[in-house]
Amino acid sequence: MPEIAIILGSDSDLPKIKDCFSILEEFGVSFDITISSAHRTPESTREWASSARDRGVMVIIAAAGGAAHLPGVVASHTTLPVLGVPIETNIAGGLDSVLSIIQMPSGIPVAAMPAGKAGGSNAALFAVSILSVSNPDYAMKLKKYREKMAAGIGVKNEKLKSLGHAEYIKKLGEGK
């Protein structure tokens, strides 16, 4: 019985949100992953979504690209919180996925996450923040995660001060 259920419109989206998986694992959140398309497998998407609350799922993460209907279609079959992750496309600079996810009609909410690199990680973190509402353990873990993030930036500043910007940029380039 996973706390978070993840659904993707295509297996090619898996690597694009892999930060989502690693962050959930880092927080010790249970989750499962299903590939199911709003359009190509509407029946299994519907069954998956409409039974999610009864399966004990607490939050749903749905990722899709193009005319990204998946988060909305999932939300139409459940009253659980649904987080929509737009997968970047080349058309209109990715606005197709972003607008298809954010502009849901009144009555059926979807929470839109960022397009691009931050989509997977922020979906994971937002899901944990929802769990933290009734689970103080997750609230504590989120607080520590942020402190670690801030500390990491502190370390970079010290390195920048000691190396100087020219050297730092050179090392960044090599690090790639």
Q: Give the nearest distance from C-beta 55 to its own copies in angstroms.
A: 14
Q: Are 76 and 83 in contact (CB under 8 A)?
A: no
Counting runs of H as helices and runs of E as strands, what totals does the chain give?
Answer: 7, 5
Which residue in the set 28, 47, 51, 109 belongs to the binding site for its own copies (CB under 8 A)?
A: 109
Which residue in the set 5, 29, 61, 98 belongs to the binding site for its own copies (CB under 8 A)?
A: 98
Q: Which residues contact 174 (CB under 8 A, 6 or more apart)?
A: none
136: tokens are: 């103080």
How long, in residues, is the chain? 176
Q: Does 163 bind its own copies (CB under 8 A)?
A: no
Which residue in the set 1, 134, 162, 174 belongs to the binding site for its own copies (CB under 8 A)?
A: 134
58: tokens are: 């607490």
Which residue in the set 29, 52, 62, 123 belongs to the binding site for its own copies (CB under 8 A)?
A: 123
Query: Within 10 Å of residue 13's Cβ, how many Cβ atoms?
Result: 19
The site for its own copies, by CB under 8 A, has a size of 97
| Binders of its own copies in range 24-83 (CB under 8 A) | 33-44, 46, 53, 58-59, 65-67, 69, 72-73, 75-77, 79-81, 83
Q: Give the nearest distance from C-beta 42 to its own copies in angstroms.
A: 4
